[in-house]
Amino acid sequence: MSAERLSTLIQQFFTQRLRVQQGVSAHTVASYRDTFRLLLAFATEQTGRTSSNLRLQDLDLALIEKFLGHLEQHRGNCVRTRNARLAGIHAFFQFVAVNEPAMGLQCQRILSLPVKRCAKRPVEFITPEEAQALIGAPDPQTWIGSRDRALLLVAFQTGLRNSELRALRRQDVVLGTGPHVRCLGKGRKMRCTPLRPDVVAVLKDWLRRHSGAPNDPVFPSVRGGPMSADAVQKLVARHVATARAVCPSLNEKTVTPHTLRHAAAMNLLMHGVDLSVIALWLGHESTETTQLYLHADMRLKEQALAYTDPSGVVPARYKPADSLLTFLESL
């Protein structure tokens, strides 16, 4: 196969397969793009050919296996990142198998590469007390402090993802009867999340102070456009550093925007909300993803332990007392 054909396949994969046929999100396109940047650079080092001169035969099973090992051993990527890169490679060779039947055996070998199992750590979250310290860290007298306080409060109450917070527009916020926010989440699922009265009050104050068009972002950058993912990360880190002075327990935790999402889920769980409702709240595809929160809080396990009888005696079945004897004993 010619090098021109490989270049054409890669371009068709991104423009036709991903965008037109599958309609994947911009995040998926960006992830697969980065995967191929790394893969083509690695293949160039291994074969001595430039990316434009690589052939499809060069991307064989041996090279893909070396590339996956290179990610972990030399780039220091975790297993989850390695699996994400493999997902992009799998998607491409599924496309190749359809469009180049003659390369079916090579595609089959690469598609047989399994994802790597990895240890699942308990999710890290912050308690309501720690969240209040974090929300109270920004200075509400300044424009940036008022924005940051509203953003942190919305993040902790709604559990929106970093991307969902940044994508919120003024028209997505309803503060009248039945206050809620609308967002387009993962998998292009639209969902509405209700707002507490205290969050409504803070949002009303923020939106009143910062006027704008319906399509403007709720939490804009200093220049007025949408905030970047890094900007939200730095925002959270900055206020966590301030909150640690009044809440020392934050010193033992690494807090990111996604930690606030976990905190929102744990807050619902600790208040007795059913897992299926939490899954809808967070926009999870199934409750299996939400079940990881059951393992996160030791207090839930301690409550389960309290229901067990440490004596080991099997409780007898309850038998109601004789009505006549009960009458006589009551005299």
Q: Which amino acid is at 220?
A: P
Examine the residue annotation and report whether 258 is marked as an active-site residue of this protein. Answer: yes
Nearest in space to 253 (alpha carbons), one of 237, 230, 276, 271: 237
With residue 192 as reference, give the H or E element that holds it.
strand 190-194
Among candidate residues 186, 271, 301, 318, the one labeled active-site is 186
Catalytic residue of the set 82, 147, 161, 244: 161
Is 261 tagged catalytic?
yes
Sheet holding 190-194, edge to edge: 173-174, 180-184, 190-194
Question: What's the one-letter identity of residue 32?
Answer: Y
307 given a catalytic annotation: no
- In angstroms, rounded to a whole number, what is the distance separating the alpha carbons of residues 261 and 283? 11
210 is catalytic: no
Active-site residue flag, 161 = yes
Quick check: 195 and 176 in contact, CB under 8 A?
no
Point out which residues pair with 191 in neighbouring strands: 183
Q: Which of 82, 147, 244, 261 is catalytic?
A: 261
CB proximity list for 136: less than 8 A, separation 6 or greater: 149, 243, 246
Q: Which of 82, 85, 166, 284 is catalytic?
A: 284
Task: Please name the residue that has the structure tokens 């999340």.
Answer: 193
Active site residues: 161, 186, 258, 261, 284, 293
